[in-house]
Amino acid sequence: MQQFPRKGNRDVSIVLCGAAGQGVQAVEELLVRLGKNLGYHVYANREYMSRVRGGHNSTAVRMAASPVRALVDRIDILVPLGPGIRENVLDRIDPQTLVLGDMKELEGDLAGRTFQSVHLPFLDIAKEAGGAVFANVVATAVIAGLFADTPEVLRPLVEQRFGAKGADVVEKNMAAVSLGFARGQEILRSGVCSFSLASSGSLEDRIALDGADAVSTGALAGGCSFCCGYPMSPATGILTFMIQQGERFGVAAEQVEDEIAAVNMAVGASYGGARAMVTTSGGGFALMTEGFSLAGVTESPLVVHLSQRPGPATGMATRTEQGDLLFALHGGHGEFPRAILAPGTLEEAFFCTRHAFYLADRYQVPVVVLTDQYLMNTYYDLPLEALDLESLDPHIVETSREYRRYEDAEDGVSPRGVPGHGEGLVGVDSHEHDEEGHVWENFQLRAWMNSKRIRKIEGLRYEALEPTLIGPENYKILLLCWGSTRSIVEEALENLGWKDAAVLHILQPWPLSEKTLSYLEKAGRVIAVEGNATAQLCALLRLECGFEVQEKVLTWKGLQFSVEEVMEGLRELSSKGERES
């Protein structure tokens, strides 16, 4: 009999996979909400192929008595809705994995592998309920039957997911639920497996979000009133959210013809007084860089959500990487201040996006919120109190007749007026200009105005978010990371049990907090964990602090690190260090 959770683990790891169109994402949403309603903390992450039609997608769901935040390779229960399982899923099967599926259809995929199995012909069961379209709901109900006492626990979730299609559709889906749930209960009675996962009780004070939701709600909390973009994975979810919710929250959301139009439209909206955001990925940001510079010279507040994926060019359009840090730092021609925030959790994704609007307005600069596909498609529960909805000051003044848009200021930040708010004329130009915004070919003026803009970097540096230290303060080993690898590195270190090691997560790569170097110099060893081939954060630290990180654990295959991969990389470095000493 298989015991879940496995010995030494605190959670059950479930992976579902199937062809595009079989509703794998719907299963993920239902299971996340089901787990939370049953009192389990939940984590999910999906991966999908870059195909208009076809391909094979999967989603990983972890259920636990305590919060879980990271991707693991381990698969306790694998639920394939059909054949065509991809190698990156097959390679994670081990002798303790329980496979639930049509074993006749899956025979070719699973040949030569050792695992436990229960024959479940999902398509045949779905046809009993009314058609093959219900296979994903049947699979959801089978898993529910392993954890819950009654199929009715799924009714409110089915009504929420399918209610807009009418009562008849809801009842047909509930018929599929009944059939699948009964199969799950049969598995338990057969003695193939047993579950001893403790419930946390009521989780009503927590909310389940994914990365796109976290960034979008953070933007709303920051007062975003204008959002535009051209659909480009993995950033499209933010544009979709804003278009769907724009009228409710007073946001003008626009899907435009290309990324050049998007950034220029956003700069124009900012000039008019809107809190503007564009959302894109690396290829889109490449097209935006001239408009990004326009925001720099016009001193227009602008938030850019840049969700990374592997390049160069189109690269791997639906996969993940941390390859655009230096691009975000140096994107745009000329020299002008900007800030870069790189959240590592959904809580931080909310906070950083909200904070980006504060920095953009306070210093009249472009601010980049740097995420990636992995974080955008990560889904888990978090406390409602993490979502602070307190409004922010827009930092806009009422203009007088003597108003000068680019008036010199000690901190480089001129009073910001907008057209129609006061009696003054709000001049703006993409050329170098004087305090009123008039264009002059004057070298002294150029030096003066450029110096004024660059002085803002000191204020941005003074307000820079400090790195987050997780672990003991008297560490000897420091694991350095940024962005979405945070929770993965945390769990890897916890599993390794290194008592003299801590994690340092860089939340704001630019400008760096002045406290960063002191954390690094205190460690006997610093090991960087990054999702790119060239250790871009390490390059930035070398440039900015003169600090050289010697040891690195890197990946750039298009998939996020798993907890096990980080553990293996750290063990290899540890063994190498012992051999050399």
Instruction: Report the CATH number at residue 130.
Output: 3.40.920.10
Query: What is the residue range of 286's domain?
Result: 209-386
Looking at residue 581, its pLDDT comes to 55
Furthest CA-CA distance within the chain: 85
Within a domain: residue 29? Answer: yes
Residues 285 and 199 in one domain: no
Looking at residue 578, its pLDDT comes to 62
Residues 199 and 220 in one domain: no
Looking at residue 61, its pLDDT comes to 97
Contacts of 549 (CB under 8 A, 6+ apart): 480, 520, 526, 527, 528, 535, 538, 541, 542
Within a domain: residue 496? Answer: yes
Residues in the chain with pLDDT values less than 70: 52-54, 577-581
Residues 567 and 505 in one domain: yes
Within a domain: residue 34? Answer: yes
The answer to whether the CB of 63 falls within 8 A of the CB of 35 is: yes
The answer to whether the CB of 302 falls within 8 A of the CB of 295 is: yes
Looking at residue 390, its pLDDT comes to 75
Query: Tokens in use for 351?
Result: 């906070």
Residues 160 and 243 in one domain: no
Q: Based on the structure, what is the number of domains in the chain? A: 3
Within a domain: residue 409? Answer: no
Residues 224 and 367 in one domain: yes
What letters, b where the CB count within 10 A reaches 16 and e where it falls short, cover 367-402? bbbbbbbbbbbbbbbbeeebbeeeeeebeeeebeee
Residues 495 and 356 in one domain: no
Within a domain: residue 278? Answer: yes
Phi-psi region of 192 (alpha: psi -120 to 50; beta: other; left: phi over 0): alpha
Within a domain: residue 546? Answer: yes
Residues 478 and 576 in one domain: yes
Within a domain: residue 85? Answer: yes
The answer to whether the CB of 144 falls within 8 A of the CB of 184 is: yes
**DSSP letter at 402?**
T
- Looking at 386, 417, 441, the residue that finishes a domain is 386
192, HSE (Cβ side, Cα atoms, 13 Å) = 20
First-to-final CA distance of the chain = 46
Residues 103 and 248 in one domain: no
- Looking at 358, 386, 414, the residue that finishes a domain is 386
State how far the Cα of 242 lies from the Cα of 266, in Å rounded to an integer: 14
Residues 267 and 228 in one domain: yes
Q: DSSP assignment of 437-495, as one string?
A: S-B---HHHHHHHHHHHHTHHHHHHHTPPPPEEES-TT-SEEEEEEGGGHHHHHHHHHH
Residue by residue, what is the 3-state secondary structure of 17-59? EEECCCCHHHHHHHHHHHHHHCCCEEEEEEECCCCCCCCEEEE
Looking at residue 576, its pLDDT comes to 78
- Residue-wise pLDDT for 454-472, tens only, equals 999 999 999 999 999 999 9
3-class DSSP state of 75 = coil
What are the beta bridge partners of residue 422? 399
- Looking at 338, 365, 386, the residue that finishes a domain is 386
395, HSE (Cβ side, Cα atoms, 13 Å) = 20
C-alpha distances (whole Å) from 157 to each of 10, 139, 173, 177 are 26, 14, 11, 11
The answer to whether the CB of 329 falls within 8 A of the CB of 358 is: no
State how far the Cα of 491 lies from the Cα of 374, in Å rounded to an integer: 16
Task: CATH number of the domain at 335, please.
Answer: 3.40.50.970
Residues 221 and 200 in one domain: no
Residues 185 and 234 in one domain: no
State how far the Cα of 315 lies from the Cα of 561, in Å rounded to an integer: 18
Q: In what order do the strands lie in the sheet with 378-383?
A: 116-119, 98-101, 77-80, 11-19, 56-64, 41-47, 378-383, 206-210
Residues 54 and 180 in one domain: yes
Within a domain: residue 419? Answer: no
Nearest to 526 by CA among 468, 478, 486: 478
Task: CATH number of the domain at 489, please.
Answer: 3.40.50.920
